[in-house]
């Protein structure tokens, strides 16, 4: 099992790395070259850089991920692809994407994009809070425990 993070805009990278280290699970951060960093690599963490194209990180994650791997993303399209591959997909706000909720999420995204194209203003995401961090960390720990027990 590995944990893949769609890492360009992920506010939970440090939480993922901390939880994964304690659970002895490798982490793969996938970022575009525009987010290149000279930081020292952390133990158990691999960083893969991809072109700056809009879906380059998504495509690389899907190429690498295997059934039962965990993917952390806020991208509904990537979540949908990951579910189709049998991966466990988590959102940084502390919920799991499932076959039961992905259609509704994709539909809402489509309607918002359609409204923006017609000139309407839509609300952006709510700010990321400490409560969201706690909720995500709890979900990640429960998910790892559940995978290991099955």
pLDDT values of the chain reduced to their tens digit, one per residue, 150 residues? 999 999 988 999 999 999 999 999 999 999 987 667 767 778 899 999 999 877 899 999 999 999 999 999 999 889 999 999 999 999 999 999 998 888 787 777 667 777 778 888 877 778 999 999 999 999 999 999 999 998
Measured in degrees and rounded to the nearest 5, phi and psi for residue 141 equal: -65, -45
The pTM for the full model equals 0.87
SS3 of the chain: helix, strand, coil, percent, to 5: 45, 15, 35
pLDDT of residue 83: 96
Domain 3-149 top-level CATH class? alpha beta
């Amino acid at each position: 099992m590995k944990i893949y993070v769609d890492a360009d805009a992920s506010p939970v990278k440090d939480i993922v790395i901390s939880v994964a280290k304690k659970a002895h699970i490798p982490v793969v951060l996938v970022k575009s070259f525009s987010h290149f960093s000279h930081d020292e690599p952390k133990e158990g963490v691999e960083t893969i850089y991809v072109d700056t194209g809009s879906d380059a990180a998504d495509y690389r994650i899907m190429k690498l991920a295997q059934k039962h791997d965990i993917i952390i993303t806020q991208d509904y399209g990537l979540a949908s692809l990951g579910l189709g591959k049998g991966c466990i997909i988590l959102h940084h706000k502390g919920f799991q994407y499932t076959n039961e909720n992905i259609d509704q999420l994709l539909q809402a995204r489509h309607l918002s994009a359609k409204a923006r194209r017609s000139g309407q203003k839509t609300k952006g995401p709510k700010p990321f809070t400490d409560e969201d961090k706690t909720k995500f960390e709890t979900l990640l720990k429960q998910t790892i425990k559940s995978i290991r027990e099955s």
